[in-house]
Amino acid sequence: MSDPVKFNAGCVSSHCIALNLNIMKIKIKMTIEVEVEDTFNFTDEEEKIWFENEVLIGDGTLMLHSNEIGDTVGVVKKVSNVQYVS
């Protein structure tokens, strides 16, 4: 586990709030299989390369979302070994 994240709230209008929360960040490593919308043409090798580099690996904007909690679970930090299975 990583170190706790500490938040200190500031002042809003004339009211100040002192808040010190300890929230633990947890790393999870898992293997997933994703069904991608049919808007992509994965028979084209250039599109596969673009999809892997810009969408999957990209700049840290790929998120794991849960409909169960209605929120983001976390940011996908690493993508490797991309395989097209069908």
The position carrying tokens 């808007």 is 39
Number of structural domains (the chain) is 1
- Give me the pLDDT at residue 16, please: 60
Q: Is 63 part of a structural domain of the chain?
A: yes
Tell me which residue of 10, 32, 7, 33 sits closest to 22, measured CA to CA: 7
Residue scoring higher pLDDT (60 or 13): 60
What pLDDT, on a 0 to 100 scale, did the predictor assign at position 11?
A: 55
| Structural domain that includes position 44 | 5-75
**pLDDT digits over 39-79, tens only?**
877 888 888 888 888 888 877 788 989 999 999 888 888 88
Q: Is 81 part of any domain?
A: no
Q: Is residue 82 part of a domain?
A: no
pLDDT exceeding 90 applies to what percent of the chain? 7
pLDDT band at 24 (very low <50, low <70, confident <90, very high): confident
